[in-house]
Structure 1
Amino acid sequence: MKNFMLFLFLVALAGPLTTLNAQKGMGESEGIAKTGEIPEMQTISGLVTEIKKGPCTYTVGKSVSGTHLMVQTEDDVVLNIHLGPTAKIFDFIEDAKGHHLEAIVFTTEKLPENHFIAKEVTYNENKLVLRNGYLKPFWAHKKGREYWK
C-alpha cells in the first residue's frame, strides 16, 4: 500500500512539473549555438520605447525571466529584440528606454514576424556583445561582464 501511495504522489507531482516545463520555450532541447548553423545577421536601429522583463515563450534557455527591448524603427515598425535572461542582461540595459539603439540581430523560422535575437547592441556609446561568432551567449560562460565594451 505504501508503494502505491508513493506512486500516486509521484504521478501527482509529475503533472505540474511537466506542465511548467512545457510552457517554457519552443520545445527544443538546445539553442542555435549548439546546432552549428549561423543564420544571416541584420543590422537594425531605432528608438527603444519599452523594456520588457518576464517569461519568454520563445526561449530555449533555463531562465524563467527574459529581457526584451521594443524598438521603433524610422518606418514606425516596432521590433521585439530578444536579449537574454533578465538576471544576466538587465543591469546592462536598464537605462536604454528613450535612447537610439543599433543592434546586430538574427531571426529563426520559429520566431514571429518582427522578433529578433540580439547578437550585439549599442546605445549611449556602449556596446554589449551578447553572443560570440558562433552565437554562444556570454551567460553560457562563467564570466560575463568582460563582454561589455
Structure 2
Amino acid sequence: MNLLKIDHFDDKNGNGARMTIFVAGCPHKCKGCFNVVSWSYLTGYECTQDVLTCLFDKFEKDRQFLTGLSILGGEPLAPRNYEGVLDICLQFKKRFPEKDIWVWTGYTLEELKEQPQAIALSLIDTLVDGRFEESLKDTELAFRGSSNQRILKLGIDY
C-alpha cells in the first residue's frame, strides 16, 4: 500500500485535532472528486513499518493534543489497501487505545458488511461511507462532500 500524505496536525477531517493519513488508490473514481491525484495505487510512497513507527512516534509526542487518527484516500478499504489499513488500525489501537479512528470510504456500510473488510469495522470508531455524488455536493456538510454520505458511529450504527 502506498501513502500520499501524512498531516501531523489536522482539524478538518474528524472531531478535534487529528493526525491524518491519505492512502493511494481508488477504484471508485467518482465524478467531481476533490482528490483525483489519489486514484493511482502507484502514487506516493510505500507504507513500510519504518514509516508507521515514525508516524506513531510523532503521534506519541503530540498525544495530549491529538484526539485520534483519520484515514482517507483514495480508498482506504479498497481490496488492495485493506490489509495495510487494517495493520495501521491494529497497531494504532494497541498503542493508543483511548484515541479514536475515523475512516472515509466510498463503500457503504452495507457493502462492507458483505466483504472481508468488515473485520476492520470493529476498529473504526467513525465511518464516513458512500461514494461522492457530484449532483448531491453540499459544501455546508461537516466531514463529507455529498448528502448521500453518512457519518456512522461504532456501537450505535454498526
Determine which structure has the larger strand proportion and give its number. 1
Identify the TM-score tier after normalising by the shorter chain: under 0.3
Task: Please report the TM-score for the alignment, with normalisation by the length of structure 2.
Answer: 0.26
- Higher helix fraction (1 or 2): 2
Which of 1 and 2 has greater Rg?
A: 1
